Amino acid sequence: MLGERPGQTFTGIVVVAFALALPVGAFMLAQGVGPALARVPVAEATAFVAAGTGPGEVKTLSARLEAIGGVARVRFVPRDQAWAELQRRARDGQGFAEIKPNPLPDALVVEFLPCAEPATVSAAAVAMSKLPRVESVQAEIEWYRRLVLVIQAVRAVLVPVALILALLVVVVTLGTVRRATTVDPAELRLLDQIGAEDDFIRRPFVYAGAVLLGIAAAGCLGLIAVGRFLANPPLADLGRAFGVELALDYPPWPLVTAFVAGSLLVGAAAGYVFGGRQVAQARALR
């Protein structure tokens, strides 16, 4: 059946391989890049410690900050370290050398949980400012609020886009199996006439569907391998620019095996159904 129209069969396999590569590629992207992207939007707030606060009080203050809702961790930045860092970053180090003593206070930098709600961050900043030995709190929330809104908007669009793509994959895959397993109704009537049972008539359709999707699944894995080879270097560069590790990894072997086996089964089932429909249509033409 597939060998009778080799050009059409080959085209169908290529089309389905590309269609199947979409969800597989999306899965790999989610696995490889998703966790790294989830870490990107992290809000921070800085609590400047009042002058004269002892180490023990700083430690207590740090613990109280960690207990505030939405806080992931607290990092202590001593005033000397902050001053050295400021001098290092400044363009005119001469000007800083003349300022004595160090005017900066000790600081406790609060990092919030990834993708924390902006309202949570605002509330935490207010709570921080009310703690004893906290002189002031600096929290730039507006950029974070805009970033979270962008992420939420993208997610809201991604879901329907993913559903549409999934539907397209199903339509393309099943449509290709149907076209590849179409036979002359006269041949089906002949089989009917000589006393072939339904299972006998449907068998070639089942085999053809399974072979078509099985080969397409293997082709899809090949496409994925090529895509991974091409995408990983630029992804790695992008990740380095943001201080995260970005890479596409192959799905686990059990999942790959299930994918190929599932493709074979779906192809066989589709062939069985389409074969049955063609037989019924051929009989109706008598």
Partner 1 sequence: MAADVSTELSSDQPFVRLERVSRKYGTFRLALSEITLSIDRSELVLLIGGSGAGKSTLLRLVGAIDPPSSGRVRIGGEDPARMRPNELAFLRRSIGSVPQEPLLLDGQSVLENVMLPAIASNQTRREAVERARAALNRVRFDDVDALPGQLSSGARYRVALARAIVNRPALLLVDDPVSRLDADAADNMLHLLEQFAISGVTVVLAAQRRPERTPARSRLIRLENGVLA
Binding site for partner 1 (CB under 8 A): 4, 186-187, 189-198, 200, 286
Distances (CA, A) of 199 to 21, 107, 210, 276, 279: 32, 78, 16, 9, 11
Distance, in Å, from the CA atom of 116 to the CA atom of 53, rounded to the nearest integer, reads: 30
Helix axes 253-284, 185-193, angle to 10 degrees: 80
- Whichever of 190 and 255 has its CB closer to partner 1, that residue is 190
User: Considering beta carbons, is residue 57 or 192 the nearer one to partner 1?
Assistant: 192
Query: CB of 115: closest distance to partner 1 in angstroms?
Result: 60
3-class SS at 135? strand
Nearer of residues 238 and 285 to partner 1, judged by Cβ: 285
The minimum distance between CB 198 and partner 1, in angstroms, equals 6
Calpha distance 177→184 (Å, rounded): 16
Q: Taking the complex as a whole, how short is the minimal distance between the CB of residue 286 and partner 1, in angstroms?
A: 6
- Rounded CA separation 16/172 (Å): 7
Question: C-beta of 27: minimal distance to partner 1 in Å?
Answer: 40
Please choose, from the candidates 108, 169, 170, the residue with its C-alpha nearest in 3D space to the C-alpha of residue 133.
108
Q: Give min distance, CB of 182 to partner 1, in A.
A: 15
**Minimum distance of partner 1 from residue 281's CB (angstroms):** 16
Nearer to partner 1, 204 or 239 (CB): 204
Residue 233 neighbours by CB distance under 10 Å: 10
Closest to 124 in 3D by CA, of 135, 138, 114: 138
**Within a 10 A sphere around the Cβ of 152, how many other Cβ atoms?**
11
CA distance 56 to 45: 21
| Cβ distance to partner 1 smaller for residue 103 or 195 | 195
Nearest residue (CB) to partner 1, 70 versus 204: 204
**DSSP-based three-state secondary structure for 70:** coil
**Would you say 14 or 191 has its CB closer to partner 1?**
191
Closest CA to 45 of 133, 161, 142, 132: 142
**Closest distance between partner 1 and the C-beta of residue 3, in Å?**
8
Torsion, Cα 231 233 235 240, to 10 degrees, reads 180
